Structure formats: structure tokens, C-alpha cells
Structure 1
Amino acid sequence: MRSLTSGDVHSLGENRVNVTLRNLTPFFEAFGIKKGDKMYRPAEELVVIW
């Protein structure tokens, strides 16, 4: 895993999905994600690019 992370320009498959979804408020709303759930991320930690 370490070798793939440092040597490949693409993130690992798990991160391509889970990390992205953890930053989307519509995902939280659609699936009822709340504090204490594994995919939950507090609003102040959300990454917003645009």
C-alpha cells in the first residue's frame, strides 16, 4: 500500500470513493449520515474546492 501510494499518481481505489463522498453534503443528506457514523465528517473539516 505504501509503495502504491508513493509511486502512483492516482489515489487508492478506497480513497477515490470514500474520501470524496465524505466531503459532499448531498451524500450526507441522501444517506442520512450523522455524527458517529464512519463516513461522517464535521462541516468545518469538509474540503471545498470550487
Structure 2
Amino acid sequence: MQLDKGCLQVDGKIMKPGGNLVITKAAVEPVWYLPGITKRYDITQSQLLCP
């Protein structure tokens, strides 16, 4: 582990003792916005959902 080798240092905020990390991640952008996809490819939503 990189922590044991001294490559990473515990800062108490992001890296806790023992190597545990505090991470927060959020995504707000919709990945599959069906009306936009159907408009871009000039198809209907039913064509997209049921090939």
C-alpha cells in the first residue's frame, strides 16, 4: 500500500488514519434524456424503446 511506503500522507480531512478516504460525488446531468435523443436521431420514443 502506498500509505505504508510513505508516498501518501494522512491529512485527517481527506485521508483518515488507516488509509480510509472521505469522498463525495454527485451527478446532476441526465444521461438518457429520451426526448433529446429522439429529436437528434429523428425517431420516435417508441422506436427508441422497442427496436
TM-score, scaled to structure 1: 0.25
Higher CA-based Rg: 2
Task: Return the structure number with greater relative CO, CA threshold 8 A, min gap 6.
Answer: 1
More helix by share: 1
TM-score, scaled to structure 2: 0.25
